[in-house]
Amino acid sequence: MTRRYLGSWTLPSGNSADVYLEGGALYCAWDRPPSPAWPRADVEHWESITFPAIIRAVADVTGQRVLGVSV
């Protein structure tokens, strides 16, 4: 399977992730993985900015306009 680098995203705290698409799965290699200890500003940034940007990157790579997302 081919692993495709989508980019790197950084949260307000400085925590960052390199993001890859491999075989239809999304992998986020975080400095500090998601947890209840994440600062509120990081969670809000993830929900409103980072996650939508990652989904747009996946859409660009796959050529799909609508993506199903499972959590």
The 3 state secondary structure assigned to 14-57 is CCEEEEEEECCEEEEEECCCCCCCCCHHHHHHHHHHHHHHHHHH
Ranges of each domain in the chain: 3-62
Considering only CA atoms, give the Rg of the chain.
12
pTM higher than the cut 0.95: no
Q: Is 11 helix (H, G, I), strand (E, B) or coil?
A: coil
Each residue of 4-57: pLDDT tens digit? 999 999 999 999 999 999 988 899 999 999 999 999 999 999 999 999 999 889
